Amino acid sequence: MPKLHVLKVFVGEDGAGGNPLGVFLDGSAVPEADRQSVAARLGFSETVFVDDAVSGNLRIFTPAAELPFAGHPLVGTAWLLLREGHDVPALRPPAGEVAVRVEGSCVFVTGRPEWSPQFEILQLSFPRDVDALEGPPEGKELVGAWAWEDEAEGRMRVRVFVSELGVVEDEATGSFAARLCAALGRPISIRQGVGSRIVARPLDDGAVEFGGRVEPVEEREEQAG
């Protein structure tokens, strides 16, 4: 049976938060026809199947759909491949080549904001308004709500709802960070969920680099189908 690595991605400075992620480094051991059902059974917001660790080719599935690009799966997979001794200058999800960079304890990836799902971006007046949400605002199925904690320093409070992809609320969403960073055109530091932290900055070519800390949770054998 293939080995499943479970990680937490975008962990806060105090160890809080972090979005759970499942990664099969030997993704080819899971038949393509079974990957969606495996992702649904595992129930993580995303599960990654690495088809070739050398080239960085991989595919990403939510419980309900395959994604061409996603944030915390790419950051987490890059971290795991590096830990396992692979040279990882870039990953290659279906959307395109994603550069990888390490800075201190954080892993960063670079992607195009247009590769991300078409999130609605909803600015609220205060962080407490974001915290007070009891579910997706106005019943929206793919939306990120945010408010400045400190506008001068670029710190913000964010919650992201993605029921369209089979997850009601995401703990930490790199692809939304990419869209929000591009829309604002400035570096940002996001506090999302129960304490996750994402840092993002726009690049001159319109791409966005974003990243954070990753921690391992467990490794286990998992059924392929």
192: which residues sit within 8 A by CB, 6+ positions away?
10, 17, 157, 158, 159, 160, 170, 171, 172, 173, 198
Q: What is the pLDDT of residues 141-200, one digit of tens each?
A: 899 999 999 999 999 999 999 887 778 899 999 999 999 999 999 999 999 999 999 999
Residue 138: is its pLDDT beyond 90?
no
Instruction: Go through the domains of the chain in sequence order and give each one's CATH number.
Output: 3-104+212-221 (3.10.310.10), 115-209 (3.10.310.10)
Name the H helices within the chain.
35-42, 71-83, 127-131, 174-184
Q: Are 17 and 72 in contact (CB under 8 A)?
A: no
Q: Structure tokens of 218?
A: 């467990």
Q: What is the pLDDT of residues 49-97, one digit of tens each?
A: 999 999 999 999 999 999 999 999 999 999 999 999 999 999 999 999 9
**Residue 39: HSE in the Cβ half-sphere, 13 Å Cα cutoff:** 27
Confidence of residue 123 (pLDDT cuts 50, 70, 90): very high
pTM of the model: 0.95
Confidence of residue 10 (pLDDT cuts 50, 70, 90): very high
> Hunting for tokens 């990882």 — which residue is that?
88
| Pairwise CA distance, residues 56 & 35, whole Å | 18
Q: What is the mean pLDDT of the chain?
A: 95
Residue 163's pLDDT is 83
| Pairwise CA distance, residues 40 & 90, whole Å | 27
Residue 170's pLDDT is 93
Q: What angle do CA 119, 164, 39 make, to 5 degrees?
A: 115
> Hunting for tokens 């304490």 — which residue is that?
195
| Pairwise CA distance, residues 201 & 198, whole Å | 10
